[in-house]
Amino acid sequence: MPRPPSKRAKPAGPSKDEDRSSSESDAEDGEELQTVQADFAFFDPKPSDFHGVRLLLKTYLDSKPWDLTGFVDLILAQTTVGTVVKLADEEEEEEGQGTGGEKTSAGGNDDDDLFGLISVLNLGRYAEHRCIKDLKEYLLAVCSDKDTKRQLKSLLEEKASSVGLLVCRRFVNFPYELVPKLYDALFDEVSWATEDEPTQELQDSFRFKHYLLLVRMLERKTPAKHKAKNSKDDDDEPIIYPKLEDEIFNELSSWSFTFPIRSEQSPQQEMKNYKEMGLVMAVKAEAIPKFRKKLEALVSEQ
């Protein structure tokens, strides 16, 4: 199987970020929002990304005290499968020209410019690490349905060696058109790792049969008893997925469950009728090709 293209040779591409500091009234008066052109690039994780990755994962287990540092270390140590997204540096892009298919972990700005990350960790391979033990304990604690907990426990224990914990976190200003490329990079690297890792044990550790995801969603609060009959709130979606791909994952999941979480930030006015929930999903690896097609189609419609 051919090695995937270098992340350096495959820049994420330009994206226009709108400066939304202008008031709505300014926009109504015909003033254009300021547009900033930004180039993003995909990089291998490296130790200097620690603080940026830690910031992205700060609320991964809500407010539970756990070994977050150890979790970040595992993600950064796995450089063959995993990607961080940063603003591209012009000088480094020039230096990276002509690298061909060679994968590189060099380059990139400091972690203050880190906008997103994606990785997948084998739950069996890292089972003895404190952070993974903390994660398993947390997931079992927040699962209230008896039958679902049985299936979850099976993936966390006897089937763990073929289960990948898929972690994708990014800031709200991450360009949505780059999301399919981010997942393509991950799943291409997983396929590559099953043949190109230096030992049979490592190759087998990427032969996932299931992916487990822990994400967040917004759920519509129970309507008030005396809500006006023609209230605009009636048109609100019952569920909102902050990360558009999570709706596809949920559609394709073998099972899923939600649980309440503590939101540290006050909801925006337009989100006041929603409560933040945790969502755990189990997705069979055989469903990933369908996921990739659906995600590409969804982003093309935006």
Judge contact between 280 and 256, C-beta under 8 A.
yes
Cβ atoms within 10 Å of 128's Cβ, excluding its own: 8
Q: Does position 57 have pLDDT exceeding 70, yes or no?
A: yes
- Over residues 106-135, the mean pLDDT reads 86
How far apart (Å, rounded) are the C-alpha atoms in residues 55 and 97?
Answer: 31
- Which two three-digit tokens encode residue 130? 């404190």
Q: What is the dihedral of CA 65, 69, 70, 73, to 10 degrees?
A: 160
The domain locations on the chain are: 40-88+111-222+235-300
**What does DSSP assign to residue 178?**
G
Do residues 119 and 82 touch, judged by C-beta distance below 8 A?
A: yes
Is residue 216 within 8 A of residue 56, CB to CB? The reply is no
d(CA 216, CA 83): 21
More confident residue, 2 or 302: 302
Residue 200 pLDDT exceeds 70: yes
Helix (H/G/I), strand (E/B), else coil: 207 = coil
96 against 202, higher pLDDT: 202
CB 186 within 8 A of CB 81: yes
| Residues 6 or more apart in contact with residue 190 via CB below 8 angstroms | 81, 120, 164, 206, 208
**How much is the pTM?**
0.82
- The CATH architecture that domain 40-88+111-222+235-300 belongs to is 3-Layer(aba) Sandwich (3.40)
Mean pLDDT, the chain, integer: 82
pLDDT at 196: 94
